[in-house]
């Protein structure tokens, strides 16, 4: 590696919908933010019906601001809004089984 060249790290960006999920592995310069990784991932183009800029983000299930600087091996997750409260969904499934 040339002197002064930015070190690079490997991260992932993930998004899922019912029946379809995307996991993109990227090699990015150290100092890359979650927002930058999302932009580089191409997920916005793959899912043109969503507004990735308005969606919440996290790393390995923990919510983080988009300005969070990534570390080697991080998986940035793009969260879609929940349609049904998870507790209510469990109650409905329980009533159907019982």
What string of H, E and C letters represents the secondary structure of 24-78?
Answer: EEEEEECCCEHHHHHHHHCHHHHCCCCCHHHCEEEECCEECCCCCECCCCCEEEE
Question: pTM of the full predicted structure?
Answer: 0.77
What are the tens digits of pLDDT across the range 29-88? 999 999 999 999 999 999 999 999 899 999 999 999 999 999 999 999 999 876 666 677
CATH number of 8-97: 3.10.20.30
């Amino acid at each position: 590696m040339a002197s002064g060249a930015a070190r690079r790290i490997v991260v992932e960006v993930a998004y899922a919908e019912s029946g379809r999920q995307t996991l993109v592995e990227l090699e990015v310069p150290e100092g890359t933010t979650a927002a930058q990784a999302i932009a580089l991932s191409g997920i916005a183009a793959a899912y043109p019906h969503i507004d990735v800029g308005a969606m919440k983000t996290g790393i390995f299930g923990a919510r983080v601001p988009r300005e969070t600087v990534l570390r080697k091996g991080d998986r940035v997750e793009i969260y879609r809004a929940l349609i049904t409260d998870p507790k209510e969904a469990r109650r409905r499934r329980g009533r159907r089984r019982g």
